[in-house]
Each structure stands twice: as C-alpha cells, then as structure tokens.
Structure 1
Amino acid sequence: MARVTPEKAEQLSWPIVQIYSSIQTEILENIGALLAKDTKALEADVNQWYALKLEQIGGLTRENIRAISKKSKLTQKKIREILQNIGMEGIEANETVLQKAIAQGIPLMAALPVKQDPAIWQILDAFARQATDIYNLVNSTMLTQSQVVYRDILTQTVAGVISGLKTPQQALRSTVQDWSQKGIPALITADGKRRYAEGYAYTVIRTMGNNVANEMQDSRFDSYGVDLVEISSHVGARPKCAPYQGRIFSRSGNDPKYPALSSTSKGEPDGLFGINCGHFQYPYIPGISEQRYHPVNAERNEKAYKESQKQRALERNIRNNKRELATFEKMNDEIGAKRAHRKVLDGQARLRAFLEETGRTRRREREQIYN
C-alpha cells in the first residue's frame, strides 16, 4: 500500500474545509441580504437606520443557526471517516515491512492484526471525540461572532457617515468589504486574537489527522517492539521540521548508531508532528528496510517553502475576493460587486504568473469558496 503523503492527507482533509467555507460564506451572504433592505432609511437618517437594523438581528441569528445546524451535521459524519482514512493509510503501509521482517526471523514481537488491535480504535475514538468537541465550539463561536460582525458593520457605517468623509453607501461598502475579506471568527484566543473559520477548520483537521496517524504508528511500533523509525521527507518542509526529515531516529534513544527521536523538534507546536505538520514516521528494520526518504537540500527546501507560502497567500486572496463578491451580490451593491469581481480576476492573473514563473502546480480547489 502506498505511503501517506502531505498531499494525500490534505486531500482527505479538504471536505471539512469545504463545509466551513460554506458556513462562513452563507453567514456573510445572510448579512448581505439583510443589509440590502432599508437602503432608503440609510440615506435618510443613519441613526434611525442603525436602530432599525439592530432590531433585525434576531432574524439574522435564526438564519445563521439554520445554516450552521444543517451543514455542521455533515462535519460530524466526516470527522471520523477522515481521521480513520488518514490513520489507516499511515499504518497499513508499515504492516508489510513488519510482517516481512518477522518472516525473515527478525526478533520482533507478534502483534494483533490491525483490525483486531483495540489500541488503534481507542486512538481513533479519542481523537474523533476531541475533534468533534472542537468543531462544536467552532460552531458556537461562529454564531456568536456573526452577531459581533453584524453589529460592527452597523457601528462602523454610522461612524463613517458621521465623520463626514463617506456617503452612507460608501461607509457601508467599506465596512462590509473589510469583514468579507477577513471572514467570520471561529476562535478567539486568550490574548484576544482571532482565528477565522476556513483557516482554523483546516488547521484542526490536518493536525488531528497527523496526530491520529502518528499515534497509531507509535502504537503499532510498541506492539511489534520497533525502535528505529524513518521520518518522511518532502520539499518545502517547515524550518523546524526540515533538519530531521529523511533521517532515522531511535524512539528509545538507546541505539548506538542513530540519534534519539526526542532530540528533534517533536513536541513543539511548529515542530516535527506538530500543528499542520506533513511528516509521518515509518519502521526502519536494519537488513530489511530500504531507506525510502532522504534529507532535502537546505537551500532547495527553503526556496520551495517560501514559494508554497506565497502560493497559499495568493490562493487565500482569491478566496477572500470571491467571498467579498458573493456578499456584495447579496447586498445588490453593483459597484461593490463589480470591484470585487475585478479583484478576483486580478488575483487569478497574479497566481497564474507566479505559477508560470516557479513551475508550481495550480490547486484550483484552494481558490474556491463553497456554498
């Protein structure tokens, strides 16, 4: 069976991103549809418009509850499926190597078949519950923050008009544009920083998927008595992962030839197997295993990493502009929609030029918003 790759793990995780992209877009469209009403009141008296629109927040909240409730049901179904797929891809490729080693007389312990190993299913259950709890909190936060976003749009619009620097429509358009670009917050950290729905949803499922795969791998290594592991490698690895990829480590730290796995950046949030990490570990059996991965040239890796970050920024810009376009269309704001559409086209042109210059592959699914 093929070994799991960062690309495959991302592909398996993407349905969750699509769901939260869809929820975020629908919430902003609901806000846009509500702001499309009572435009005459906005032009006549901005303070009366503010009071009128504030009274309508209850209806908006009910619409947002329906959107979150309907689409988050899909999340619950997908979480376990995604985590199981990533986890199984991470361990099944190892089983052939380990069984071959036993057949050739390597002194490993006999392990239960994967499907009969209770530890594997306990790991899956634990992470599926944890991920479900996190996404339930995300749902609650998005609902609360959608009200915050709506109120802020009203408040900033009034402030823009009172300042005398903008017409009512200009003030409203400017504030809506700001929030459409940012999205709906899904997490407020202890220091007050906001993490937005689409990006945070991706971070959670990717990190959980990697955790499941690596913990399942660790569990199987324990069952077989495996000490040496090979770390996968790919071009464009993060700075704290790059020095360790494609190398062999001792899990116990007692091997005279290979360094301890604990000597790596494992355990650090941005380190090996940390948040959004794309690395996996595989058994290395001297005399049986053929080293599949090798360190990547540091200069080449750094160049690829910077290019990958630039590509993701360009893709994110396209998504943000598409979300802005969708919101202005719901507002019936032709000027705002026309400008947003132009920004989408310009962003796509910049991405195409970048890909042509670097030779990187276009990932169209990462340019889409979903609804």
Structure 2
Amino acid sequence: MLSPQELGHLTDDIEKIWQELEDELLADMAQRIVKNDYAFPSTAAWNKRKLEEIGVQYDYIVRQLSRTLKLSENQVKRIIGESVHTAVDTDNLIFKAAAEAGLLESVADTSELISKFIADGVKSTNGELRNFARTYAADASRAYEHAIDQAYLQVTNGFYTAQQASQTAIEQLARQGITSAITPSGRREHADVIVRRAVRTGTNQSALKAQEANFFAMEAQLVEVTDHYGARPSHAEWQGKVYEWTKPGQQKKTSYPDFISSTGYGTGAGLGGWNCRHSFYPFFEGLSERAYEPLNTQETDRVYELEQEQRYNERMIREWTRRQKTLEAGCYDANKEREKVKEWKKRNDSLIKANPDVLKKNYANSKVAFAKRGKTVLEEFLEAATPKKGNIFFPDDYNRSIHKSEIKVAEWLLENFGGDIRLLSESKKQGVKTPDYDWDGKFWDLKEISTNAAADSAIRKGLKQISSNPGGIILDLKSEDIELPDLLHRVNDRIKRSAKGTLHVLVKKDDVLLEVIQYIKK
C-alpha cells in the first residue's frame, strides 16, 4: 500500500526539474529576442534570418531537453522502484501475520513477478515522457518563432522601436510560458503539470498491478481502500471501505461490496486512474483492524475546496515567478512581477495559517504500522498533547547563555505539547555527546538544519546521542529552501540503517509543527 501522502509528494523533485527547464528555455529566448536585429529590407530576408535563428534555438532546446530527460528517467526509475517495493513490502507484512494466524496456508514468493512490474512501469512511464519531450520541443520552438515574428511585424509596420517590440514580445512570452496540449480536450498545460500526472499515475498503477498480482498469488479475498480528506467527490463515495475482490468468473463469497464495480479500479476515472492518490491493502477478518473510519462529508468537501485554493495560489506564485525571471533575463524591469510573487506567497501563507488543521496535517489517516519504516502520526501526536501542562527543569550547572536555542524549543514543546522537560548539561567526558532533553523519561535531541543534505548527518549524530533511552529527534528547519518530501526520504534512509529502537522524529519550522514520524524497529 502507498499512502495518499506518499502519492501526493512522490513527484515533487521531478516537477522541479521540468519547471527549471521551462525557466531556462524562456530566459534563453528572452536574451535572443533582445539581441535580434528586426530591420530587414524584405520579408524574404527576414524569413531567411528567422529560419537560421530558429534552427540555432531549436538545437539549444534539444540539448536542454536531453539533459532533463536523462535526469527524469533516473528519477522515474528510483520513484517506481521504491514505490512498488514499499507497497508490496507493506502488504507482505499483513500476509505474514495472516499466515502466522492460520488464515493463509503460506506466503508465496512473488519477487520475480514484482521485478517485472517495476521494469514495465519504468519503461512505459519513461516512454510517455520521451513522447511528450518531442511535442514539447516543437511547442517551445513555436513559442519562440511567434515571439520574434511579433517583434519583426511591430518594427516593420512602424508601431514600435526594436527595443519596445522586444519588450512586448518578451512580456507576452513571460505571460504565456511554454505549454503543450496532449489530452483529448486540447487543454494546454505547462510541462511540470503534464509530467506530474504521468509519473504519479504511472507509479501508482505499477504499484497497484504488483499488489494485485501479489494479492491473488496469496489467494487473499478482501481489501481495504485508503482514504484522505480532500478526495474528489466521485472518489469520496468509495474510499475507506472494505471490499471483496474476486477474479473474473468467480462467485462472491462474502457480503462485502465488489471491489472492481464499486471503485472503478482499472479505469482512468477510478481507483489508480488519472492523478489518483488512493491505494488498497489486504484485509483479514479476525486479524485486521479497520484502519479507516468513515470521513465527514462536509469536512471532506471543506478540505477539497481549501486544497484547491492552495493549489491555485501555488500556481499563481509559479506564474509570476516565471514572468519575473523571463523579464529579468531580457534585462527589463520586473518590479511588478516581483511584488506579485510576494503578494501571492503572503496570501498562501495566510491561508495555511488560517487552516492549520487542514493544510499542515496529514490526512492519510493510516493506522498500518510496518517495520523499519516511518509512519505518520502527526494527528495522533496532537490529540495526545497536553499543552502547558508540565514543567521545564534546569540542572544547576546548565549554561543558559550558550543554549538559547535549546531553551526556546523546550518552551515551545511545553506550550504546545506539555510534559516534564529536563534540559541536560553537556558531558564533561571528551568525545561524549549527551542529548539535549529528557522529555517525560525519554531522551530527545535537537538538530537545526539548513539544507536537505544535512539531515543524514544530523539524524546519525542524534541517534547516537539518544541511543541509551530513545525518545526522538527534533529537526528545526532554518531555511526556506528545504523541501519536506526529500527531507523525510533522507531521514527514513538514515533511520533504517542506524536506529536501534522505537522513536519519533518531529519536524518543525519556526513555531509550526510540520510532521511527526514514528519509527518502530521490530
């Protein structure tokens, strides 16, 4: 099973690669537009010059696309490989428990079959991206051709000077960006949107196909579908329920509704279809505990609307940032665009602060725990909190002047979560590092990080410091450039290699708790 949160963030890195490609191509176009000479004695002379210019620019597009495709293909291989193994490994924990309880005769070895689904998924998704790249190259070239044609006509007709025409062409290019139409509806979209949909859909379908083969190889019968707040209305109807899944031609044996007909699994509009974040996992009566309770319809609708608003804000930030960068590349004033970026960021921040229960929480709502891998427990952590109940204790030899950050975080912990927090003095033994806190009888360590790459070292050191009585590690993010999905991926890798017991990782920025991950080492 892949959680809705995992599916929601697995394309973050690859989207950024394609956003950067569009920025680079637009910047190159803007610089070429400014340098062009639009004063030609005849249309024929201009067309000859234009074809030469388009040819040079197209070569640049192809080079940049080749580089981006190579990066993307490596990302797709990693994303699909990790996702399929995660989904199947999680299911297999349930199958093993069922076999131990006598509900299955044995656990089949499906490793070769799973490898085939990974290979097929990578091949199919990368093939789709390569096909799109050819379309995108042509669309980018046409965008440039249209811009320089516009500038030439305005200069030739005497409407503008060359400088004015260049600025007008660049402004239009910045507004429109580079878009492609690859859907039957003909709607034009930016590359990052198209790539996100292709990779997310390809990854989820690969994982689901592998889970399906695994499911029937184990001769299982029931599945529970994941759920999340903010699901599209048509999916909200069937999410979070248990279904019977039979092979074609087989008779139903239980009173549970049919999985295929209920969820539309296998169709573009159903579970696992276009941009879908739902998954499933095996369910055994008498063993499995329902992980998903029915969600409040009004709350689901509310979250859906808020998430749509947040996505719109993020698109506007992206659009005005694109305009700003393109104008700056052409050496034109971009103050208006810069202010618009700030305005939309402020609007989005206000939306998040006004709705922290929705836009900062994890709504995957999953209760399935698995060995050596993190489980999101943010909601449970907040529900168990006892804000302001408890005390902060300082040893007599504690040096408050050099531990202001530790004290500030201790005050934040008490204010928001409560408990007895004892700050610990540094060890006087050379080479021995003590944890920062004893929080309700468990050791915790604070690590401030400014880059994603620093997470591995921070976790490694923190684990060593709390190893004798692990409670957890608090990661305090000190930079806007840190990307949470990549950070959590790095944290998970280090925990799997080094952790020796159950612990939590709290991720905070400023005074906002972003995530709580529980690791259970079995």
How does the TM-score come out when normalised to structure 1?
A: 0.87
Aligned to 2:66: 69
Q: Given the alignment, which residue of 254, 260, 265 partners 1:262?
A: 260
Deviation at 1:173, TM superposition (A): 3.9
Deviation at 1:37, TM superposition (A): 0.9
Aligned 8 A contact 1:4 1:89 in 2? yes
Higher helix share: 1
**Relative contact order (C-alpha < 8 Å, sep 6+): which is higher?**
1
Deviation at 1:35, TM superposition (A): 1.2
Aligned to 1:271: 270
Q: Given the alignment, which residue of 126, 132, 142 partners 2:136?
A: 142
Aligned to 2:85: 88
Deviation at 1:110, TM superposition (A): 3.3
* 1:199 has 2:193 as partner: yes
Output aligned runs, 1:197-346, within 5 Å.
197-252=191-246, 254-266=252-264, 267-334=266-333, 337-346=334-343
Partners of 1:240 and 1:46 in 2: CA distance = 59
**TM-align CA RMSD:** 2.8
Aligned to 2:24: 26
* 1:128 has 2:122 as partner: yes
Deviation at 1:36, TM superposition (A): 2.1
Deviation at 1:350, TM superposition (A): 1.6
Given residue 33 of structure 2, which amino acid in structure 1 is its aligned partner?
L
Deviation at 1:203, TM superposition (A): 0.4
Higher strand share: 2
2:342 counterpart SS class: helix
1:221 counterpart SS class: helix
Q: Given the alignment, which residue of 106, 111, 128 partners 2:108?
A: 111
Aligned 8 A contact 1:19 1:71 in 2? yes
Aligned 8 A contact 1:47 1:158 in 2? no
Partners of 1:221 and 1:340 in 2: CA distance = 53
Q: Measured at CA, do residues 303 and 364 of structure 1 come closer, stay the same or move farther in structure 2, by a change above 3 Å? A: farther
Q: Which structure has the greater CA radius of gyration?
A: 2
Given residue 270 of structure 1, which amino acid in structure 2 is its aligned partner?
A
Partners of 1:106 and 1:137 in 2: CA distance = 46
- CA-to-partner distance for each residue in 1:29-60, whole Å, 9 max, x for gaps? 1111111213xx45899979965555411211
Given residue 74 of structure 2, which amino acid in structure 1 is its aligned partner?
K
Partners of 2:173 and 2:294 in 1: CA distance = 42
> Identical aligned pairs, as a percentage?
24
Aligned 8 A contact 2:19 2:192 in 1? yes
Deviation at 1:127, TM superposition (A): 1.1
Given residue 83 of structure 2, which amino acid in structure 1 is its aligned partner?
I
- CA-to-partner distance for each residue in 1:336-369, whole Å, 9 max, x for gaps? x222212211111221222222222399789xxx
Deviation at 1:187, TM superposition (A): 4.4
Aligned 8 A contact 1:108 1:225 in 2? no
Q: Measured at CA, do residues 164 and 220 of structure 1 come closer, stay the same or move farther in structure 2, by a change above 3 Å? A: same
Partners of 1:6 and 1:36 in 2: CA distance = 46
- CA-to-partner distance for each residue in 1:119-177, whole Å, 9 max, x for gaps? 11111111111111111112211211111101121234456678888776555445433
Aligned to 1:369: none
Partners of 1:244 and 1:54 in 2: CA distance = 55
Q: Measured at CA, do residues 169 and 243 of structure 1 come closer, stay the same or move farther in structure 2, by a change above 3 Å? A: farther
Q: Which runs of 5+ in 1 are unaligned?
A: 367-371
Given residue 339 of structure 1, which amino acid in structure 2 is its aligned partner?
K
Given residue 9 of structure 1, which amino acid in structure 2 is its aligned partner?
L
* 1:353 has 2:353 as partner: no
Q: Measured at CA, do residues 109 and 264 of structure 1 come closer, stay the same or move farther in structure 2, by a change above 3 Å? A: same
Q: Measured at CA, do residues 223 and 333 of structure 1 come closer, stay the same or move farther in structure 2, by a change above 3 Å? A: same
- CA-to-partner distance for each residue in 1:305-343, whole Å, 9 max, x for gaps? 111111011101111111111111111112xx2222122
Tell me how many residue pairs correspond in the alignment.
Answer: 357
Partners of 2:122 and 2:323 in 1: CA distance = 33
Given residue 296 of structure 1, which amino acid in structure 2 is its aligned partner?
L
Partners of 1:227 and 1:87 in 2: CA distance = 21
Q: Measured at CA, do residues 226 and 191 of structure 1 come closer, stay the same or move farther in structure 2, by a change above 3 Å? A: same
1:249 counterpart SS class: strand
Given residue 306 of structure 1, which amino acid in structure 2 is its aligned partner?
E
